[in-house]
Amino acid sequence: MISRFLLGVGLIGLMIVASFGTYTYLGGRQSKVAIVAQKPTAASPRPNAITLPGTLYLAQSGALYSFSFGRFHQLTAQDGWTQPSLYPNGADLLAVQRLYDHSDVFVLSRFGSPVEQWTTNKGGGLDTGSSHWSFYPRLSPDLSTLWMSYDSPKIGYDVPLSIWAVPAGNSVVHGKLWTNSIDYTGGDVEPIPLRTGGVMYTKYSRDDNGDLAGQLWLATRPSRPANGETLTTAGAEGQPLTGTDEDCAQPSISPDGSQVAMICTYQKQVSYLELASWDGSSLGPRREVITDQLVAQPTWAPDGSGIAYLAPGAGASGFQLWFLPKARYNPPTPSPITVPTPTPGGPYHGPAPKPTPAPPVVVPLVKPIQITTNAGFDATSPLAWAG
Amino acid sequence: MSLGIKPGRRARASRRRLSIVRTAALAIFAIGLSAMAGSLAYFLPAAKLAWDATGQVISLASPTPSPSSTASPSPTPAPLYQPGAFTVLLLGSDDDSKFQADHVLTQSMILVRVLPDTKQVIMLSIPRDLYVPFWTGGSGKIDGAYSYGQAGGAVATVERDFGVHVDEYIWIGLLGLVKLIDAIGGIDVVTSNPVLDDYYPQDIFSTFPYDYQRVAVLAGPQHLDGIHAMQYVRSRHNDLQSDIGRSKRQQQVLLAIRKKAKQVSSADVPSIANALGGEIKTSIGLDRVAQLIPLAASFDNPDAITSMVMLPPLWHGGGPGGSLTPSWGAINYFVHQYFPYG
């Protein structure tokens, strides 16, 4: 028989283990909802071993990262960096540094070192309204003009973003106001300078019910050629490319210039990836490519092999990097059915044989590929993809 | 004995067997007891906080005669009444240091009708500037009903003025919203437009609550932490619809919280309760909360959620102190299409 002393000691030990074990077990049963996103360079599990063409630039928690050859590299410190875009000469990047009460556009080297500051938006004095925001910088194909959203003009409580074109490297006072945003909507964002000289952008406006919605717009001439001239009415400088009912934004033009990828939310808490043909002045019929994810920032691969985008992933924290292969939205055309040639032979007087219907060609649905699992990228920061 | 076993030996063998059984039983009992103790230690802080926050009694002061009990009966019966349905009044307050803790305004008042059978939810935001008679007497903007009569005063004011019955209320402070969203790891939301405000109140985590700051919440699908979600739902200076536009944004964030909360497990409750401590109060009892959690998770059809705000002609501007003057006939007709009579 076990001695009572040993039994007592054993039971106490068992109780301690059981109580601590239960506590620890319950702690371990917590869901992963509150998991903090990890740096893409340190994410565990490691990013899927997928190699995308070229180099992709993304933002997370105020730092810029590049993704090439299946690996992430941190380019800047976590210091408010966001919205990278490509410098068309291939040597540098444009990016926004967003601080507490203002943001500025910088030129960075491909390795993340600041080369030049292009805007100075920190205001002076006690008035919080004296500072400015610059967002979504893009450089024109000829490197001569910085396009960006900039919160001027603003009057009183109305702080709308407008599209500005500023000679590269110059102060915004030398810039041209290209769009006249609609009052109290948040304004005009995401400019894409076109080779034809105009600009595609997202304008926020109100529908017939007064609800706010995004619309892709095309502006072919500046709203105000130079500072000090009379403003035209909102939107007079261009034309809408999408309707307010579609609520579309974040346009991205394909490398061959024939298609536009965008997100459309239909004024709901959804976000569909849609494609439309683009002829330089209007969009063709929409094609919904992804409807079951909260898609953000679609960006075409420079070689046209697919579209990268950000969306939440299963069991992940925040927005992850996804890649949609071209085969999903542009499936290969099935090979033509070979018609059998008649075999030589004698005359046949019977009924003509009916051709057997060809079996339907089933194109397997290509699924998007989730590249990161717990990176939590900044979904308000467009991706930049260099070839 | 006939089997050749001596009586003393059998008794010892029996005791030995009994001893093993007893020991095993004792061990199982000890393990069970310890596991319960471990569970208790894990859930006790949350249970205490939940006990404090839930099951709040709605206390009402004696009503003073209303200066204008103009709520007219609705010609349409409420078509969405069904057994098991209930109405909750959501109250959101600026509870920063500008106000005394017991006299805060409700910047957000949302009537929510839950229809479990058809898994429908109807949300109706009440403009905070609506000029109404208070249950406690006198009139003013409806956001003051809580200030004068606490949750009971707000509930009674809504019940009497709108002619509806409120089954439960949930009150949450500003900091509570921030903590709740952070405790569930942030929310994924589609912000409808860029929200920029040069004069956003800097009254959270600030030593001078009357200061201002600049905020810019960009548009589109994104992951928001508590602070930025609060900036999105609270800013109103850059919105032509002011409080109405803000109400629409509040409903978007509520839906995102509900969506995220579906991923929460019971083991998360202590950390969430700990984060929320004191920033949330509700009349819903703990037992009812336990019933409602799985119910909320089953509401997964976004088309079955109706979000509404009160727009003109339900009210018109020009009321006292910048308030909105209600058109009670129109309001009652509208409200009772979705909320049954009280």
Mean pLDDT of chain B: 81
* A206 inside 8 A of chain B by CB: yes
Give residues with Cβ within 8 angstroms of A30, minimum separation 6: B265, B267, B268, B271
* B212 inside 8 A of chain A by CB: yes
Q: Quick check: B298 pLDDT over 90?
A: no
Q: Which residues of A touch B264 (CB under 8 A)?
A: 31, 33
Partner-chain contact B263 A33, CB within 8 Å: yes
Helix axes B226-234, B243-261, angle to 10 degrees: 150
Partner-chain contact A14 B27, CB within 8 Å: yes
b/e burial code for range B203-213 (CB count within 10 A of at least 16 → b): bbeeeeeeebb
Q: What pLDDT was estimated at residue B71?
A: 37
Name which of B36, B193, B223 is nearest A204 (Cβ-Cβ): B193
Question: With bands split at pLDDT 50, 70 and 90, how would you rate the model's confidence at A139?
Answer: very high
* B194 inside 8 A of chain A by CB: yes
* A382 inside 8 A of chain B by CB: no
- Average of per-residue pLDDT across A145-150: 97
* A111 inside 8 A of chain B by CB: no
CA nearest A35 in B: which residue?
B185
Most confident of A73-82, A149-158, A330-339: A73-82
Before A45, cis peptide (omega within 30)? Answer: yes
A300 to chain B nearest CA, in Å? 19
Cα torsion angle, B251, B172, B146, B106, sign: negative
Name which of A14, A129, A379 is nearest B223 (Cβ-Cβ): A379
- Distance between CA atoms of A381 and B16, rounded to whole angstroms? 74
- Distance between CA atoms of A379 and A212, rounded to whole angstroms? 20
Nearest to B270 by CA among B53, B52, B54, B41: B41
Q: Quick check: B241 pLDDT over 80?
A: no
Q: Quick check: B73 pLDDT over 60?
A: no
Q: Per mean pLDDT, which range of A44-48, A181-185, A275-279, B135-139 is the poorest?
A: A44-48
Q: In what order do the strands lie in the sheet with A103-109?
A: A81-86, A92-98, A103-109, A114-117
Q: What pLDDT was estimated at residue B6?
A: 60
Q: What is the pLDDT of residues B48-59, one digit of tens each?
A: 766 676 666 666
Q: What pLDDT was estimated at residue A226?
A: 47
B209 against A78, higher pLDDT: A78
- Average of per-residue pLDDT across A162-176: 93
Q: What is the pLDDT of residues B140-159, one digit of tens each?
A: 999 999 988 889 999 999 99
A353 to chain B nearest CA, in Å? 53
Question: With bands split at pLDDT 50, 70 and 90, how would you rate the model's confidence at B64?
Answer: very low
Helix, strand, coil percentages, rounded to 5, for chain A: 10, 35, 55
B299 against A201, higher pLDDT: A201
Q: Where are the alpha helices (DSSP H) in chain A?
A: 4-28, 326-329
Partner-chain contact A319 B223, CB within 8 Å: yes
B105 against A125, higher pLDDT: B105
Partner-chain contact B252 A380, CB within 8 Å: no
Within a 13 Å sphere around the CA of B147, how many CA atoms are in the beta-carbon half? 18
Q: Which residues of A touch B42 (CB under 8 A)?
A: 22-23, 26-27
Q: What pLDDT was estimated at residue A248?
A: 98
Q: Quick check: A174 pLDDT over 60?
A: yes
Q: Per mean pLDDT, which range of A17-26, A92-101, A158-167 is the poorest?
A: A17-26
- Average of per-residue pLDDT across A100-112: 95
Q: Which residues of B touch A191 (CB under 8 A)?
A: none
* A268 inside 8 A of chain B by CB: yes
Q: Which residues of B touch A22 (CB under 8 A)?
A: 34-39, 42
CA nearest A267 in B: which residue?
B192
Q: Quick check: A18 pLDDT over 50?
A: yes
Q: Which residues of A touch B265 (CB under 8 A)?
A: 29-31
Q: Quick check: B7 pLDDT over 80?
A: no
Report the share of chain A in percent with pLDDT over 70: 85
- Distance between CA atoms of A302 and A254, rounded to whole angstroms? 8
Name which of B38, B183, B185 is nearest A18 (Cβ-Cβ): B38
Given a contact cutoff of 8 angstroms between Cβ atoms, the answer to whether A309 and A273 are in contact is yes
A370 against A230, higher pLDDT: A370
Q: What pLDDT was estimated at residue B8?
A: 65
Given a contact cutoff of 8 angstroms between Cβ atoms, the answer to whether B187 and B252 are in contact is no
- Average of per-residue pLDDT across A234-257: 91
Q: What pLDDT was estimated at residue A43?
A: 65
Q: Which residues pair with A286 in a beta bridge?
A: A276
* B183 inside 8 A of chain A by CB: yes
Residue contacts between A and B (CB atoms, under 8 Å): 206
Q: What pLDDT was estimated at residue B75?
A: 40
Give residues with Cβ within 8 angstroms of A86, minimum separation 6: A57, A93, A94, A139, A384, A385, A386
Most A CBs within 10 Å, among B195, B222, B239, to test the A interface? B222
- Average of per-residue pLDDT across B255-272: 81
Q: What pLDDT was estimated at residue A300?
A: 97
* A369 inside 8 A of chain B by CB: no
A353 against B261, higher pLDDT: B261
Partner-chain contact B42 A22, CB within 8 Å: yes
Name which of A31, A102, A212 is nearest B193 (Cβ-Cβ): A212
Structure tokens at A364: 């397997």
Alpha-carbon torsion, ordered B2, B7, B10, B11, to 10 deg? 150
Q: Per mean pLDDT, which range of A57-61, A131-135, A210-214, B50-54 is the poorest?
A: B50-54
Question: With bands split at pLDDT 50, 70 and 90, how would you rate the model's confidence at B261?
Answer: confident
| pTM for this entry | 0.82
* A366 inside 8 A of chain B by CB: no
- Average of per-residue pLDDT across B323-334: 94
Most A CBs within 10 Å, among B19, B34, B239, to test the A interface? B34
Token pair 């004792």 is at which residue?
Answer: B26
Most A CBs within 10 Å, among B198, B232, B246, to test the A interface? B198
* B58 inside 8 A of chain A by CB: no
Q: Quick check: B187 pLDDT over 50?
A: yes
Q: Quick check: A3 pLDDT over 60?
A: yes
B238 against A163, higher pLDDT: A163
Q: Which residues of B touch A313 (CB under 8 A)?
A: none
- Average of per-residue pLDDT across A34-45: 77
Q: Per mean pLDDT, which range of A135-139, B168-172, B263-267, B286-290 is the poorest?
A: B286-290
- Average of per-residue pLDDT across B248-271: 84
Q: Where are the alpha helices (DSSP H) in chain B?
A: 7-53, 145-162, 174-183, 226-234, 243-261, 269-276, 286-297, 328-335
Cα torsion angle, B267, A374, B204, B90, sign: negative
Q: Quick check: A342 pLDDT over 70?
A: no
